[in-house]
Chain A
């Protein structure tokens, strides 16, 4: 039988970044122990050739159409990209 004790709960609370008082620990530890032991029934199920399910409706990736937007193409002349100047010593001195 699995048993969750005070140390286990302190460790879990630390991992999950939650605060737990001593009285909560003494209440919750036996409850979690009971719940975790309830899970033991799953051991009897043969799942050796079973794939796990995390999503039920069978989704596929949805991608947008790969269309070229000409207005967003950077001008390329003489094998270099030409863009607007970022810094200009004659402008915007303020």
Chain B
């Protein structure tokens, strides 16, 4: 049985009765078992998936309009273990929550399940989503399917790998500083981060509340768009979710103009540079106009991010007291401790103004840079990461080096912008490299449009 690569393919196969949802689950579970060494899953939810698949097979049999009413009918999802799933263990990649079984599901999970998604398991990730490699998981690192000596990126490591290795058709991830876009780039899949406040965060373990975005991994841009149509919009439970309808209309140039910020093209690995510039040429040949732009405060983005994010982390992780649920605070891993202490430091009396307040001000300048750029251009084109996937252990003992891996992704979170990572090629060592498209707030349509054109002409 040939597993589908897109939702369109899947639904065509189901309509033509090439296989049933139950057979589909059989096949994915067999693949998960075969690829156990990748360590992509923390929990495989076989029984739960079979139950849902049987139910969906009934719907297909009895409801002639099933595919119209259930846009994600039969789509097998893996879920980053940060999303609460009712009755299914949710660990956040941390030993602190190793036995935690949620009483309710996050909004996103409720929404995708309602329209036909099948959840096959919960994926491995850096504990509490702290990391860019997957190595900070308390349950061991996830391996890159393109070369098992390399990391798959992080923190949504298992989610990216499950889509790349056909262990699921799509996966939900979270992106606080690049945790969807960077692993997508390292594993040759589509990674989508929505505008901050486009998708409810309700029921997802919070990392840094002003930066967290709920996005997903797919094999095609079109699928990313289809899933976003399901997950987006107010739920009455996350006060930061803005109904896009209330937002001011985005005015587009007649001919789409894509900005290339010169600040993103220094210090690049030569192979990455070559692949990214080739991708730019390809888009030019497809009729897009490019324009060099400058985002002068972008060089401060990593410093600003690594003040604001740990500050919010230290505050969010305060709630884990081991009294009502979860283990005690003794079970926090090393990276969590590092970030809690760093956050506590930048927030503590005597340092607040110099670090936290200063970072929030420079954040305003970074946002202004983007606002100015989007007056001229419709989207921004950059690399996702300065290098292809790095080796396991290469940066594990040097946190600052690991933090710098986020250099091209964090600014979108600081400014609340949507971003899309699209595969663009491979290095000589056969490691994937992606490009990043950034849009103005609530400008998802434009990056989907460019991404789809690029993908269809690859």
Interface residues of A (CB under 8 A from B): 4, 8-9, 12-13, 15-20, 24, 27-28, 31-32, 34-36, 38-39, 41-43, 45, 47, 50-57, 59, 62
Taking a contact as CB atoms under 8 Å apart, the answer to whether B399 and A55 are in contact is no
Known contacts A34-B400, A59-B239: does B341 contact A18 (CB below 8 Å)? Answer: yes
Q: Would you list 26 pairs from A and B whose C-beta atoms are within 8 A, ordered by A residue?
A: A8-B345, A9-B341, A12-B348, A16-B318, A20-B341, A24-B337, A28-B334, A28-B338, A35-B400, A36-B345, A38-B306, A39-B346, A39-B355, A41-B303, A42-B300, A45-B361, A47-B362, A51-B361, A52-B357, A53-B361, A53-B363, A53-B364, A57-B196, A57-B242, A59-B197, A62-B239
A24 to B304, CA, bound (A): 26
Chain B interface helix/strand/loop/mixed = helix
Is B422 interfacial (CB-CB < 8 Å)? no
Taking a contact as CB atoms under 8 Å apart, the answer to whether A24 and B334 are in contact is yes
Known contacts A9-B341, A16-B340, A52-B360: does B365 contact A35 (CB below 8 Å)? Answer: no
Taking a contact as CB atoms under 8 Å apart, the answer to whether A52 and B400 are in contact is no
Known contacts A42-B300, A42-B304, A53-B360: does B197 contact A13 (CB below 8 Å)? Answer: no
Q: Which of A12, A13, A20, A39 has the most CB of B within 10 A?
A: A39
Taking a contact as CB atoms under 8 Å apart, the answer to whether B344 and A59 are in contact is no
Q: Whose C-beta in chain B lies nearest to the C-beta of A12?
A: B341
CB-defined contacts of B367 to chain A, threshold 8 Å: 53, 56
A89 to B26, CA, bound (A): 68
CB-defined contacts of A35 to chain B, threshold 8 Å: 306, 342, 399-400, 403
A57 to B375, CA, bound (A): 17
Select which of B196, B330, B362 is within 8 A of A56 by beta carbon.
Answer: B196
Taking a contact as CB atoms under 8 Å apart, the answer to whether A45 and B210 are in contact is no
The number of inter-chain residue pairs (CB within 8 angstroms) is: 122
Known contacts A50-B361, A54-B360: does B303 contact A31 (CB below 8 Å)? Answer: no
Q: List B residues 348-405 near A (Cβ within 8 Å).
A: 348, 355, 357-365, 367, 398-400, 403
Taking a contact as CB atoms under 8 Å apart, the answer to whether B338 and A31 are in contact is yes
Q: List B residues 204-228 near A (Cβ within 8 Å).
A: 210
A36 to B332, CA, bound (A): 22
Known contacts A17-B329, A47-B361, A57-B441: does B341 contact A42 (CB below 8 Å)? Answer: no
Known contacts A54-B210, A56-B416: does B340 contact A18 (CB below 8 Å)? Answer: yes
Select which of A8, A19, A32, A47 is within 8 A of B365 by beta carbon.
Answer: A47
Is B314 interfacial (CB-CB < 8 Å)? yes
Is B415 interfacial (CB-CB < 8 Å)? yes
Q: Whose C-beta in chain B lies nearest to the C-beta of A51?
A: B364
A42 to B359, CA, bound (A): 8
Q: Whose C-beta in chain B lies nearest to the C-beta of A19?
A: B330
Taking a contact as CB atoms under 8 Å apart, the answer to whether B362 and A42 are in contact is yes
Known contacts A19-B329, A42-B358: does B242 contact A32 (CB below 8 Å)? Answer: no
A50 to B330, CA, bound (A): 40
Taking a contact as CB atoms under 8 Å apart, the answer to whether B240 and A57 are in contact is yes
A50 to B362, CA, bound (A): 8
Q: Whose C-beta in chain A lies nearest to the C-beta of B195?
A: A57
Q: How many residues of chain B have a CB within 8 Å of chain A? A: 49
A12 to B329, CA, bound (A): 14
Since A19-B330, A42-B358, A45-B300 are in contact, a sample of 15 more A-B pairs with Cβ atoms closer than 8 Å, ordered by chain A residue number, is A4-B345, A16-B318, A18-B341, A28-B334, A28-B337, A36-B355, A41-B299, A42-B303, A51-B361, A53-B360, A53-B361, A56-B414, A56-B441, A57-B195, A59-B239
A82 to B317, CA, bound (A): 48
Taking a contact as CB atoms under 8 Å apart, the answer to whether B337 and A56 are in contact is no
A8 to B350, CA, bound (A): 13
Q: List B residues 413-437 near A (Cβ within 8 Å).
A: 414-416
Nearest first, the 7 closest Cβ-Cβ pairs linking A and B are A56-B416, A52-B360, A47-B361, A12-B341, A50-B361, A53-B364, A57-B197
Taking a contact as CB atoms under 8 Å apart, the answer to whether B357 and A31 are in contact is no
CB-defined contacts of A4 to chain B, threshold 8 Å: 345
Q: Mark B266-304, 1 if CB is under 8 A from A, else 0.
A: 000000000000000000000000000000010110111
Q: List B residues 307-355 near A (Cβ within 8 Å).
A: 307, 314, 318, 329-330, 332, 334, 337-338, 340-342, 344-346, 348, 355
Q: Mark B132-143, 1 if CB is under 8 A from A, else 0.
A: 000000000000
A59 to B76, CA, bound (A): 35
Select which of B240, B348, B361, B398 is within 8 A of A55 by beta carbon.
Answer: B240
CB-defined contacts of B365 to chain A, threshold 8 Å: 45, 47, 50
Q: Whose C-beta in chain A lies nearest to the C-beta of B357?
A: A52
Q: Whose C-beta in chain B lies nearest to the C-beta of A50?
A: B361
A55 to B212, CA, bound (A): 12
A28 to B307, CA, bound (A): 17
A35 to B300, CA, bound (A): 13
Taking a contact as CB atoms under 8 Å apart, the answer to whether B364 and A13 are in contact is no
CB-defined contacts of A8 to chain B, threshold 8 Å: 345
Taking a contact as CB atoms under 8 Å apart, the answer to whether A16 and B300 are in contact is no
A28 to B416, CA, bound (A): 31
Known contacts A12-B344, A15-B348: does B307 contact A32 (CB below 8 Å)? Answer: no
